[in-house]
């Protein structure tokens, strides 16, 4: 297993080289520039869309704007914010957090473009159902000669959307924080616990995903907001106890981001780790979130782009930053632990009394990981349906449920190497298609914002009985 893990890590390291960093970060800068930073200026309008003011039940799609954002966030909020941040700091030092911020800032523009295209170029699967995602953007927007790029994305996403990171870290935190301290599991021989917990988790996931995408949206819109609030309250309690230290650690993050001697291989090394973990956190430019937003009930592509662009702000700039500061101010990052979620649990245990912090983290991880596993099934099923026909995609549920069990028992290093490699391969077709179709987005955005400002055609809320045309 060690040799396999090392081979997987070598592959991930090769794929996450300078060219991919330029593609993701440089691409986001390009999208921000050609849009004249308009998406950034319309955050209040994006919030208004989430209130349901512009919803129309007769529009095509499966999910409301709020459900689509919640489903997308349930796929990003979780292990990237808790385990991913800890792993980034453990491997790359505090400077890695800065490069996570960079991916989020430019990711706002990237998500606006990719998720506007998700609605603009929705296609039909072999059953005639309307679908969205990078593979449909490529097929509908670029034509058949680019079909190979769509196939590349769908094939990579079958791996990238596996639930193995979520179940792996959930199993770890439940074993080490809850069951081992209570004497209900053996820390020296974890395999049996991992197997049994994996079986239980697989049954839980199956009970939700066999209900379809509407049940996923129903569950996500109830779980995600409450867990974000709980987690933010926890982090603020810890940070309040160290409030005088925060400016120093924020400056340390910036200093270490550009230090030639930074942990993780100097400037390029820490940049790579930060961008990699940032991409895992907010998925801007990767393409998974495009599939969730492509299911939104709307005929206004730009509206869904505006909703989607809030993801990196909530996910990385707010939640990941809070996690990073908790890890830094409590000092646990200097203990040599790089196994993800345990480091975060230890950080909360340093401040919150008794085992309260660790137990609360275990509960938050349980909800975050579960909601992500619920959502990722939908992504993988759509990719399988695109590749071999939608009438076969329901069988993906059984394969996905089995992989929940597998993810619980394989090493963390192998898990992250598999997902990181798949994310790199997903980013190439997603960003390439977005570059080629970016002019369509800027034209649609100009038209929409003109109407919103009271131009030739008013962007009338759908609740008034009218639906704006593309």
What's the DSSP call for residue 175?
A: I
> What is the rounded CA–CA span in Å between residue 312 and residue 330?
25
pLDDT of 390: 82
Mean pLDDT highest for which of 23-32, 159-168, 262-271, 389-398? 23-32
| pLDDT for the residue 425 | 94
Q: How far is CA 247 from CA 222, 313, 326, 462, in A?
A: 35, 20, 13, 45
* pLDDT score, position 192: 87
Of the two residues 425 and 272, the one the predictor is more confident about is 425
- The structure's pTM equals 0.83
Asked, for residue 27, whether it belongs to a domain, the answer is no
DSSP state of 393: G
The 3-state DSSP class for residue 128 equals coil
Query: Is residue 460 assigned to a domain?
Result: no
Whether residue 6 is contained in a domain is answered as no
Name residues whose C-beta falls within 8 Å of residue 51's C-beta, 6 or more positions apart in sequence: none
Confirm whether 237 is domain-assigned: yes
- DSSP labels for 208-219? HHTT-HHHHHHH
Query: How does residue 325 score in pLDDT terms, banded at 50, 70 and 90?
Result: very high
pLDDT value at position 470?
A: 36
When pLDDT is cut at 50, 70 and 90, the band that residue 221 belongs to is low
Residue 166's alpha-carbon distances to 15, 57, 80, 215, 390, in angstroms, are 22, 33, 9, 20, 26
Residue 63 has pLDDT above 90, yes or no: no
At residue 106's C-alpha, the angle toward residues 21 and 302, to 5°, is 125
Q: Is residue 307 part of a domain?
A: yes
pLDDT at 70: 62
Q: Give the lowest-confidence range in 13-17, 177-181, 436-440.
A: 177-181
Q: Which range (112-116, 152-156, 236-240) has the least confidence?
A: 236-240
Q: Is the pLDDT of residue 467 over 50?
A: no
pLDDT, the chain, mean: 81
Above 90 in pLDDT, residue 251?
A: yes
74, pLDDT greater than 70: no
pLDDT value for 176: 82
**Out of 84-98, 261-275, 295-309, 371-385, least confident range:** 261-275
Please tell me the predicted confidence (pLDDT) of residue 450. Answer: 87
Give 64 or 183, the one with higher predicted confidence. 183
pLDDT of residue 93: 85
Average pLDDT (184-188) is: 70
Residue 109 clears pLDDT 90, i.e. is over it: yes
pLDDT at 105: 93
Q: Is position 245 within any domain?
A: yes
Query: Across 138-152, 355-369, 375-389, which has the greatest mean pLDDT?
Result: 138-152
Question: Would residue 7 count as lying in a domain?
Answer: no
| Residue scoring higher pLDDT (247 or 224) | 247
Lowest mean pLDDT of 63-77, 149-163, 206-220, 396-410, name the range: 63-77
Confidence category of residue 444, pLDDT binned at 50, 70, 90: very high
Higher local confidence (pLDDT), 161 or 340: 161
Answer whether residue 218 shows pLDDT above 80: no
Give the start-end residues of each E strand in 44-126. Answer: 123-124
The mean pLDDT value for 339-353 works out to 75
- Helices and strands, counts by H and E, the chain: 24, 2
Q: Report percent pLDDT > 90 for the chain.
A: 24
Distance CA(469)–CA(319), nearest Å, equals 36
Q: Are 238 and 352 in contact (CB under 8 A)?
A: yes
**The predicted structure's pLDDT at residue 147:** 94
Q: Examine the pLDDT at 138 and tell me if it is beyond 80.
A: yes
pLDDT band at residue 23 under the 50/70/90 scheme:
very high
- What residues have CB less than 8 Å from 86, skipping those under 6 apart? 323, 327, 333, 337, 338, 340, 341, 342, 343, 344
Residue 288 near residue 102, CB atoms below 8 Å: no
For tokens 């395999």, the residue is: 191
424, two tokens: 């790199």
Is residue 458 in a domain? no
> What's the length of the chain?
470
Read off φ and ψ for residue 388, nearest 5 degrees. Answer: -125, 5
pLDDT of residue 461: 45
Domain count, the chain: 1
What CATH number should be reported for the domain holding residue 255? 1.20.1740.10
Question: In this model, does residue 228 exceed pLDDT 70?
Answer: yes
The predicted pLDDT at position 6 comes to 84
Please tell me the predicted confidence (pLDDT) of residue 348.
81
**Distance from CA of residue 321 to its chain's centroid?**
15
User: Residue 155 is part of which domain span?
Assistant: 35-50+59-444
């Amino acid at each position: 297993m060690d040799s396999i893990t090392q081979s997987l890590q070598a592959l991930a390291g090769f794929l996450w080289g300078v060219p991919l960093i330029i593609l993701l970060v440089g691409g986001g800068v390009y999208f921000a520039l050609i849009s004249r930073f308009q998406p950034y200026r319309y955050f209040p309008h994006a919030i208004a869309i989430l209130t349901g003011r512009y919803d129309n039940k007769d529009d095509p799609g499966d999910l409301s704007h709020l459900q689509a954002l919640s489903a997308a966030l349930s796929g990003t909020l979780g292990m990237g914010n808790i385990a991913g941040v800890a792993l980034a700091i453990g491997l790359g030092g505090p400077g890695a957090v800065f490069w996570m911020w960079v991916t989020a800032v430019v990711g706002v523009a990237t998500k606006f473009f990719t998720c506007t295209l998700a609605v603009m170029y929705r296609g039909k699967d072999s059953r005639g159902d309307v679908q969205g995602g990078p593979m449909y953007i490529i097929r509908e927007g670029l034509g058949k000669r680019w079909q190979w790029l769509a196939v590349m994305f769908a094939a990579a996403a079958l791996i990238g959307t596996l639930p193995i990171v979520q179940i792996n870290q959930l199993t770890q935190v439940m074993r080490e924080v809850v069951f081992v301290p209570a004497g209900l599991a053996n820390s020296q021989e974890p395999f049996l616990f991992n197997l049994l917990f994996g079986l239980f988790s697989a049954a839980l996931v199956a009970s939700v995903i066999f209900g379809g995408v509407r049940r996923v949206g129903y569950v996500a819109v109830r779980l995600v907001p409450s867990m974000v609030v709980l987690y933010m309250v926890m982090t603020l309690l810890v940070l309040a106890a160290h409030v005088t230290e925060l400016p120093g650690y924020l400056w340390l993050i910036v200093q270490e981001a550009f230090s030639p001697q930074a942990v993780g291989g100097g400037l390029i090394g820490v940049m790579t780790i930060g961008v990699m973990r940032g991409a895992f956190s907010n998925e801007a430019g990767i393409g998974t979130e495009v599939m969730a937003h492509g299911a939104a009930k709307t005929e206004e592509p730009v509206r869904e782009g505006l909703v989607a662009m809030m993801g990196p702000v909530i996910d990385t700039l707010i939640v990941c930053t809070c996690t990073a500061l908790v890890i830094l101010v409590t000092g646990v990052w200097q203990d040599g632990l790089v196994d993800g979620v345990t480091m975060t649990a230890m950080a909360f245990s340093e401040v919150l009394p008794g085992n309260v912090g660790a137990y609360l983290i275990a509960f938050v991880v349980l909800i975050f990981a579960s909601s992500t596993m619920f959502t990722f099934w939908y992504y993988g099923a759509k990719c399988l349906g695109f590749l071999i026909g939608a009438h076969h995609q329901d069988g993906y549920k059984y394969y996905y449920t089995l992989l929940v069990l597998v993810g619980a028992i394989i090493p963390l290093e192998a898990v992250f190497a598999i997902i990181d490699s798949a994310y790199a391969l997903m980013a190439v077709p997603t960003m390439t298609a977005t570059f080629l179709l970016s002019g369509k987005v800027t034209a649609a955005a100009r038209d929409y914002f003109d109407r919103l400002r009271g131009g030739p055609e008013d962007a009338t809320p759908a609740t008034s009985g009218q639906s704006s045309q593309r």
